[in-house]
Amino acid sequence: MTSRLLFPEDRTAFVYGAPGQPICTPPRTGLRIFLDETATQVADILGMTGIPVPYSTIYTESDSLLPEFQGPEGLVSRLWAQVIGGTPVTYPLMAQYSDQLTHHPSLLHGDGPPSPEIGTIGSFYIDRGISLAMNVSDNPVLYGPRTEDGWPAEGTLMRGEQGLPGASQEWVQSTPEYTWTIDHALTYRPAVTTIDSAGQEIHGDVDYPPALPSRIFVHFGAPESGIAILT
């Protein structure tokens, strides 16, 4: 996909025959955009969101001004507009050279893979539901960024496979003690939840001795018995 320029050149433009010579049209007037002055080749134009403009027809805004839009691929700098329902006269539209807004990256979405006609260079697309290309249901698929060659052939699943349950260990303290000495086989420093023999969660000071990575001390203000859950 090649670059596109922004039309019209004058951001306060009506339809004009030459710069400074506007031909005013009523609000909401439809204009068909062509590649040639004889109005035989319809222009492939896009809106500012990168979506193709249906029938290459734009409409003047409430103040009769022309809306901004993206021209055809290939840095085409001049287009021709013909008022729908008016006399068969075409008026030239010039592209903006000052900032050359060649593309508007955007985040698009739909059901199924993106079609070649939508999106500009740098855009991303989310397949919201069933991706026929990947045959995965109820899992969004992200495509992009779009390049000059188009959309990637395959997207990336946005929700991965269900992971394995996290490791945990339970320690039983059968006799009441001020300090519980807990030995574990976990490969990381676990969080500790302590529950007394009545089933109520209790809180003690947890101590992880640096020299004994597989041992934990939990200190209480009174002798306690119960269980410790290490996660």
Residues 176-186: pLDDT tens digits? 999 999 999 88
Q: What percent of the chain has pLDDT over 90?
A: 27
- Identify the top-confidence range among 19-33, 160-174, 211-225: 211-225
Check whether 39 has a pLDDT greater than 70. yes
Distance in angstroms (rounded) separating the CA atoms of residues 17 and 119:
31
User: How sure is the predictor about 119, in pLDDT bands with cuts at 50, 70 and 90?
Assistant: confident
Check whether 99 has a pLDDT greater than 80. no
The residue among 193 and 99 whose pLDDT is bigger is 193
Residue matched to tokens 């035989």: 40
**Token couple for 175:** 């006799």
What is the identity of the amino acid at 83?
V
Distance in angstroms (rounded) separating the CA atoms of residues 42 and 158:
38
Residues 135-162: pLDDT tens digits? 445 678 888 888 878 889 888 887 766 6
Distance in angstroms (rounded) separating the CA atoms of residues 200 and 166:
24
Structural contact between residues 145 and 122, judged by C-beta atoms closer than 8 angstroms: yes
**C-alpha angle 217-175-213 in degrees, rounded to nearest 5:** 20
Residues 198-213: pLDDT tens digits? 888 999 999 999 888 8
Query: Which pLDDT value is given to residue 182?
Result: 94
What 3 state SS string does 107-164 have? EEEECCCCCCCCCCCCCEEEECCCECCCCECCCCEEECCCECCECCCCCEECCCCCCC
pTM of the model: 0.41
Query: Which pLDDT value is given to residue 111?
Result: 79
Structural contact between residues 185 and 209, judged by C-beta atoms closer than 8 angstroms: no
Burial of 95 (0-12, 13-18, 19+ CB in 10 A): buried
Query: Which pLDDT value is given to residue 160?
Result: 66
Residues 62-94: pLDDT tens digits? 777 788 898 988 778 889 988 887 777 888 888
pLDDT (average), residues 47-70: 86
Strand partners, 92: 80
Domain boundaries, the chain: 6-94, 105-163, 169-230
Q: Are strands 201-202 and 156-157 parallel, antiparallel or unpaired?
A: unpaired
Check whether 19 has a pLDDT greater than 80. no
- Residue 54 backbone dihedrals phi, psi, to 5 degrees: -60, 130
